[in-house]
Amino acid sequence: MPLITRLFAVAMLATTCVTLSAQMARSGEPAGTPGKLTVQYLAQSETLSAADLRAYTHATVTVHNPHTNADETYSGVPLIDLLVKLGAPHGHDLHGKALSDYVVATGSDGYKSVLALAEADPEFHPGQILVADEMDGKPLDEKTGPFRLVVTEDRRPARSVHSLVSVVVKAAE
């Protein structure tokens, strides 16, 4: 490959990286710290370590991963429990304008998934949404952990987020 073509490719890659970094910085969401999880509801936020999450009551779910064609059993904290601690409405208090609130879950690689706040509430949605810290009885490995968002009712795990670093509740405009 000619030198000019290689230089052009490197320049384009650098421009793309700078543009993406600027877009992420403008998003107003916590950038996230690897190994920590930032949970935010309106002006309230909390940053959790793996030890902090272990202190919460855990639930266990089993989901089928079509990528590996295997069942996986996750243990973690229901997302609604983390959000309620910060003042998010749930149960009978989740109505009206709050029904348009949504959750943006972000992984350390920038991958994002969006859920309605009501989907996290078991009074609205039959499935469970966990912030998992264990799979098959072991802590999540470096590739997928230390936290993973697990959404049980999805037919594909596309809204599950590995290496989860932030969960932010936003209001629809």
| CATH code for the domain of 70 | 3.90.420.10
pLDDT band, very low/low/confident/very high, at 8 (cuts 50, 70, 90) = very low
- Model confidence at 160: pLDDT above 70: yes
81: nearest Cα among 116, 122, 114:
122
Exposed/middle/buried for residue 35 (C-beta within 10 Å: 0-12, 13-18, 19+):
middle
pLDDT band, very low/low/confident/very high, at 4 (cuts 50, 70, 90) = very low
Predicted local confidence at residue 2, as pLDDT: 52
Predicted local confidence at residue 1, as pLDDT: 52
Same domain, yes or no: 79 and 39: yes
Same domain, yes or no: 14 and 74: no
**Residues 11-17: what's their mean pLDDT?**
36
- Model confidence at 29: pLDDT above 50: no
Residues of the chain with pLDDT > 70: what percent? 80
CB 108 within 8 A of CB 32: yes
Least confident of 7-21, 83-97, 141-155: 7-21
**Structural domain total, the chain:** 2
pTM above 0.85, yes or no: no
Same domain, yes or no: 22 and 80: no
Q: What is the pLDDT of residues 102-129, one digit of tens each?
A: 999 999 999 999 999 999 999 999 999 9
Same domain, yes or no: 56 and 116: yes
Q: How many secondary structure helices (H) and strands (E) does the chain include?
A: 4, 10
Residue 95 belongs to what domain range?
A: 31-171
Same domain, yes or no: 74 and 54: yes
CA distance 67 to 123: 30
CB count within 10 Å of CB 53 equals 18
Same domain, yes or no: 156 and 95: yes
**Residues 122-150: what's their mean pLDDT?**
94
131: nearest Cα among 114, 151, 117:
151
Predicted local confidence at residue 156, as pLDDT: 84
**What is the total residue count of the chain?**
173
Same domain, yes or no: 5 and 38: no
CA distance 137 to 115: 27
Same domain, yes or no: 17 and 43: no
Same domain, yes or no: 131 and 157: yes
Same domain, yes or no: 156 and 106: yes
Q: What is the pLDDT of residues 64-85, one digit of tens each?
A: 988 889 999 999 999 999 999 9
Of residues 130 and 9, which shows the higher confidence score?
130
CA distance 99 to 90: 10
Same domain, yes or no: 56 and 112: yes
